[in-house]
Amino acid sequence: MSVERSLVLAKPDAVKKKVVGKIIARFEDEGFKLLGLKKLKLTKEQAGQFYIVHKDRPFYDELCEFMSSGPIVAMVWEGENAIARIREIMGATNPEEAAEGTLRKLYASNIGENAVHGSDSVESANYEIPFFFSELELIG
């Protein structure tokens, strides 16, 4: 067990549906500590840089269009095993496969517009957190 940080995004669909508060409340209820929080709108180019690992996937263009289609809320959450636990709370990428009670089961529309992002490894978090936050903006 180790204390980890995860970069979480409430995606444009979650902001439009006004469920950002419910997403934040869920992570608070699960005992995580909120270190950073901001609302912003990515350009398509910035979305492409954030999701650069997927550049050769067939859904990359659609993903970048969607992620730049409206404002998002970026957060950093900290806690024991935060990366795996947050992935579990989010549920499967495709909401049709997501377990009952997970954020994607509750709030996602489809596999593309799936409400939340969470870092999938320490390596990903180390790329994703500085993408949105400087160390000075992360307050424990």
Residue numbers annotated as active site: 117
Distance CA 54, CA 102 (A): 24
Instruction: Please identify, using beta-carbon distances, which residue of 81 and 137 lies nearer to ligand DAT.
Output: 81
Asked if 120 interacts with ligand DAT (CB under 6 A), we say yes
Q: How far is CA 50 from CA 47, 123, 130, in A?
A: 5, 13, 11
Which one-letter DSSP state was computed for residue 18? T
Half-sphere exposure of 11 (CA within 13 A, CB side): 24
- Please give the residues from 33 up to 62 whose contact with ligand DAT meets the rule CB under 6 A: 54, 59, 62
- Please give the residues from 112 up to 131 whose contact with Mg ion meets the rule CB under 5 A: 120
Judged by the rule CB under 5 A, the positions of this chain that interact with Mg ion are 120
Judged by the rule CB under 6 A, the positions of this chain that interact with ligand DAT are 54, 59, 62-63, 93, 111-112, 114, 117, 120
